[in-house]
Amino acid sequence: MRVAIDSGGTFTDCIAFERGVMKITKVFSTPANPTDAILSAVHQAAPSGVRISVRHGTTVGTNALLERKGAKVAFVTTAGFEDTIAIGRQARPVLYDWFMEAPPCLIPAALRFGVPERTSAEGAILRRPTDRELDDLRESIGKSGAEAIALSLLFSFANSTNERLVAEALKPLGLPLSVSHRILPEFREYERASTVVVNAYLGPKVGSYIHNLQESLIAAYPGAGLHVMQSSGGIISSAVASEEPVRTVLSGPAGGVIGAARIAARAGLSKIIAFDMGGTSTDVSLIDLASEDARTTNESHISGLPIAVPMLDIHTVGAGGGSIAYFDAGGLLHVGPESSGAEPGPICYGKGERPTVTDANLLLGRLDAANFLGGSLQLDQERTRYWTKKVSGPLGSVETFALGTIRLAEAAMEKAIRVISVERGHDPREFTLLSFGGAGPLHACALARSLAIPRVLIPPMPGALSALGILLADHVRDFSRTIMIPYDEVLIKAYFLELEQHGLKAMAQEGLAGRVSRSIDLRYVGQGYEVNVPAGEAVPGRFHSLHRKRYGYADETRAIEIVNLRVRFMVEAEPWEPPALPIKPGDGKEARMKKTSVYFGEEPMEAWVYVRDLLTAGDRFTGPAIITEYSATTVIPPADSVFVDQFGNVIIEVVHA
C-alpha cells in the first residue's frame, strides 16, 4: 500500500492508495512532534499489519529556517572570503525602502573560518592547505561548539581537490558535514555558500526527524519504506533527504503543484494558476503545460536567503484559514501573517480566542458548522461570535468585522497571484484558477473575479490535493556542473557523459535506474544570467527563441556561452488517473441538503448547500451556493455558474462586471 502524507501547519493530510482505491484522512497537526499526527493519520488510513511505502511532504525544514531554529553551523571557506556569507549581493528587494533591514546572517562572525588554499577559476590548484593548517582548523572548530559544518571553498566546482582534502581533515570531529561540490557544484560563490550553509543549518533537525519518523513507522508497520518530497517536485529517498535537507524546503507546497498539474492535464487545461490555501499560508504557482510541466528555478529566496538547488517556482504569503485578524495601535485592521495553527486553532475549533479567517467564514455562513470535516468536528458558532464581538471594535457587527477580515486576506492572496502572473508578463484572463487546500475553494471565485480570471476549477479532494501530488510524484535526482565554455556540441557530449556516470552511480546506490533528461544553461557572452534549454537538436535556435519569449529580444549574431550542464534521472511513479464518468445533464437538485443564510455583502441572502459526493457529471446550477465535502467547502457567489465535468471537477464560470 502506498501512503502519502502532507504535514501542514494546521492539518496533516493522508492518502492511502491500493489497487486503484484511495482513502483520505485529515487530522490536526502536532507541531511539537509532527510524527504523532502522521502516525494517527496513517493508522486511520492503513490497517495494521499491511506493508506500506510512505511518501512525505514535510515542513520541518521550512519552519526551522523561517523561525531560525536550526543548528549552530561552522562555515569554512577560502581564507579572506569568510565574510562573503554575510556580505551577500547587497541587493535591495525594495529599492526605495530606507528602513529595510537585511535578514541576519545564519553564521555569526565567530563561526566563520578561513583555510589557506586557492584554486583558480580554471581549476588549477594554486595552493594546498598544509597538515598544520588543517590541524589548526579542526581544533578551532572543535572548540567553537558548532553542531554542523558547511564547507564551500572558492572555485571548488572547477576542481574539488582542496575541498575534499579539507572535508577529510574535518571528519574526525564527527559533525554533520555539508560540502559544496557534492550539493551544488556550480558557480556564483555567494549563492553556493548560502545553499550549503542552509543545508548544514537544517541537517541535524531534519535528519533526526526523518530518522525518528522512519523508526516509528517501522515499529508500527514492519518493513515500511519512507521517501520525502523535494522542492523540485520529485521524490527522494529518506537517506538523501537527511543528507541534503536543503532540497526539502518547499516539500509540502511542491506536492500541490504536481497534483494541480496532473489534474489540469487530465481536464485538458494547459494554462493554470495553482492556488493552495491552507491553515497557515497560501502558495501560488503559474503552470503552462504547453511549454513545461511546472516551472522550476535555481534562484529561489526563502526567508531572505538564496537557495540555488532546483525548486518549483512557488510564491508564498502568510494568509491562511488560521491567519489572525487584529487591530494595530492606530486602529487599522490586519490579517496575518501570524496564524493560530493547530494549537490553539481558530475560535470555532473550541480553544482559540483570537478571530481568524476561518472564524470569519463561519460567521458569514460560508461554513456548515455541523458538517465540517464530514461531521467529525463541530464548529462552535456562539463561541466564535462571543470572542469576535470582544475584538471587533469600531467595525460594529461581527459580520462587518468578518467581511473586513475576508477582504484583507483576499487582497494579500490577490497580490501574490499578481506577482507570478501580471508582474511576469502573463495575462490572468488566459488562465484557469485551480484552487485547492482546505481553505482555497472558499475564496477562489472572489479572487478570480478581482483578477478577471474567467473560470475556477475545484478538483475532487481539494483539501488533500498536495498529498495526492506527493503520491503521484516521480522519483527524481538532479545533478549539475558549471563548465563555462563557448558553445561546442562535441565538448557538451563528453561533459554530459561524465555527469551522467556520476548520476548513475548515485541512482545505483538506491537500486534505481530511470530515464535521463539533459538540459543546458546558456547565455550570450557577457550576460550575467542564463536560460535553461533542453539538450538535443537545434539548441542555439531554441535558446534564441526562449530568450526572445522571456526578455523580448534575441541577438542571433552574438556568441553563446555554456554555463551549466544539468541531468535529471527520473523513475516514474505508479500511474493513476481519475476515471471518466458519463455526462448526464442535470441541475444538482439531488445533491441539495438545505438552505442557509450567507453573506456576500452587507446583507445576507439565501443559498443552497450542496453535498459534493451527491453531485454527478453533467450537473449545472447557478450561485449563490455552498458545496460541502469532507476536505473543503466551496463558495459560489451569486450569478456564477457551476458545471461538474466527467472527472468530477467542479468548473465555475465566473461572472465579471
CATH code of residue 551: 3.30.1490
Q: Kindly report the average pLDDT of the chain as a whole number.
A: 92
Percent of the chain with pLDDT over 70: 99
Percent of the chain with pLDDT over 90: 72
pLDDT band at 302 (very low <50, low <70, confident <90, very high): confident
Q: Of 337, 341, 368, 505, which Cα lies nearest the Cα of 8? A: 341
CATH number for position 197? 3.40.50
> Measured on CA atoms in the order 554, 558, 563, 566, is the torsion positive or negative?
positive
- Name the one residue in this structure whose C-alpha cell is 460560508: 366
Is residue 173 helix, strand or coil?
Answer: helix
- Give a yes or no: residue 657 inside a domain: no
- Give a yes or no: residue 371 inside a domain: yes
Number of domains in the chain: 4
CA distance 238 to 226: 6
pLDDT greater than 80 at residue 454: yes
Written as nine digits, the cell of 323 is: 491567519
Report the pLDDT value the prediction gives residue 504, as an integer from 0 to 100: 93
- Give a yes or no: residue 142 inside a domain: yes
Mean pLDDT score, 332-343: 84
pLDDT greater than 60 at residue 293: no
* Angle, vertex CA 111, rays to CA 110 and CA 112, nearest 5: 95
Residues 549, 618: one domain? no
- Show which of 202, 236, 265 is a domain's final residue: 202
Whole-structure pTM value: 0.90
Residues 194, 81: one domain? yes
- Show which of 144, 167, 202 is a domain's final residue: 202
Residues 82, 131: one domain? yes
Residues 188, 84: one domain? yes
**Tens of pLDDT along 132-156?**
999 999 999 999 999 999 999 999 9
- Give a yes or no: residue 413 inside a domain: no
**Tens of pLDDT along 342-364?**
788 899 999 889 999 999 999 99
Mean pLDDT score, 90-116: 88
- Give a yes or no: residue 587 inside a domain: no
Residues 193, 149: one domain? yes
pLDDT band at 194 (very low <50, low <70, confident <90, very high): very high
Residues 486, 385: one domain? no
Report the pLDDT value the prediction gives residue 427, as an integer from 0 to 100: 92
Residues 73, 194: one domain? yes
Question: DSSP secondary structure string, 341-400?
Answer: TTTT--GGGTS--S-BHHHHHHHTT-S-TTSBGGGTB---HHHHHHHHHHH-GGG-SHHH
Mean pLDDT score, 195-218: 95
pLDDT band at 341 (very low <50, low <70, confident <90, very high): confident
- Show which of 408, 432, 449 is a domain's final residue: 408
Residues 79, 149: one domain? yes
CA distance 59 to 342: 14
Residues 522, 597: one domain? no
**Tens of pLDDT along 382-400?**
999 999 998 887 667 899 9
- Give a yes or no: residue 519 inside a domain: yes
pLDDT band at 320 (very low <50, low <70, confident <90, very high): confident
Residues 557, 629: one domain? no
pLDDT greater than 90 at residue 485: yes
pLDDT band at 222 (very low <50, low <70, confident <90, very high): very high
Mean pLDDT score, 38-55: 90
Residues 512, 628: one domain? no
Report the pLDDT value the prediction gives residue 514, as an integer from 0 to 100: 81
Report the pLDDT value the prediction gives residue 289, as an integer from 0 to 100: 86
- Give a yes or no: residue 515 inside a domain: yes
Q: Of 105, 114, 80, 254, which Cα lies nearest the Cα of 194? A: 105
Is residue 24 helix, strand or coil?
Answer: strand
CB 388 within 8 A of CB 402: yes
Beta strands in 29-179 (DSSP E): 53-57, 73-78, 112-115, 118-119, 125-127, 148-151, 177-179
- Give a yes or no: residue 525 inside a domain: yes
**Tens of pLDDT along 593-650?**
999 999 998 899 999 999 999 999 999 999 899 999 998 999 999 999 999 999 999 9
CA distance 508 to 502: 10
pLDDT greater than 80 at residue 484: yes
Mean pLDDT score, 569-594: 90
Query: What are the φ and ψ backbone dihedral angles of 582, each rounded to 5 degrees?
Result: -65, 140
Written as nine digits, the cell of 369 is: 458548522
Q: Give me the helix-helix angle, 381-391 and 398-420, nearest 10°.
A: 90
Residues 510, 480: one domain? yes
Report the pLDDT value the prediction gives residue 292, as an integer from 0 to 100: 64
CB 533 within 8 A of CB 539: yes
Mean pLDDT score, 517-545: 93
Please report, as a single letter, which amino acid is at residue 484. M
Report the pLDDT value the prediction gives residue 466, as an integer from 0 to 100: 93
- Per the structure, the complete domain to which residue 628 belongs is given by 592-645
Report the pLDDT value the prediction gives residue 558, as an integer from 0 to 100: 95
CB 254 within 8 A of CB 231: yes
CA distance 428 to 508: 44
